[in-house]
Amino acid sequence: MSLHPVRGYWFLAWVGLLANIASLPVIGLVAFGGPPLEATNISLAISLAWPAAIVGIVASAGLLAQRRWGVVLAIVALAMALSASLPYGIIRLVLVKDLESIGGISVSLAMLNLLALLYWCRPIHRKNIRL
């Protein structure tokens, strides 16, 4: 049986792995960087951002091994990241008004996560990968 991954599969799997590994220290810098919203930053980092990044690393490993559970885990990781970055970015934009800083970056990352989530939710990914 020949496996032919969908266009963009390998690129997004590698980008996901590298981005999730790179995000671990960045999350720490934002969380413990001080005001504004210091308590919010720390609680979001510990409860959602770091777990989403770790799930993303495991998902990328599964995708690179062409396992079906990698696709499912990628969907979970992207949903976790989206559920944190979009509301956080909107609140940060409204309260702190930093469009060119963390708030704007957070909303931009939320949009990228949404596009990646739409890509990995395509049914072809679940049909074309071995168990």
Residues in the chain: 131
Summarised one tens digit per residue, pLDDT across range 7-51 is 889 999 999 999 999 999 999 988 888 777 788 888 888 999 999
Pull the structure tokens for residue 69: 């559970």
CA 67, CA 93: separation in Å to the nearest integer? 39
30 contacts 102 by C-beta, under 8 angstroms: yes
Model confidence, pTM: 0.86
What's the average model confidence in pLDDT over 75-99?
A: 89
Give the start-end residues of each E strand in the chain.
none
- Tell me the C-alpha distance between 118 and 54, whole Å: 20
Q: Where do the structural domains in the chain lie, given as residue ranges?
A: 9-127
Q: What is the DSSP letter of 6?
A: P
Between 104 and 14, whose confidence is greater? Answer: 14
Residue 4 confidence (pLDDT): 61
Distance CA 71, CA 63 (A): 6
pLDDT above 70: percentage of residues in the chain? 91
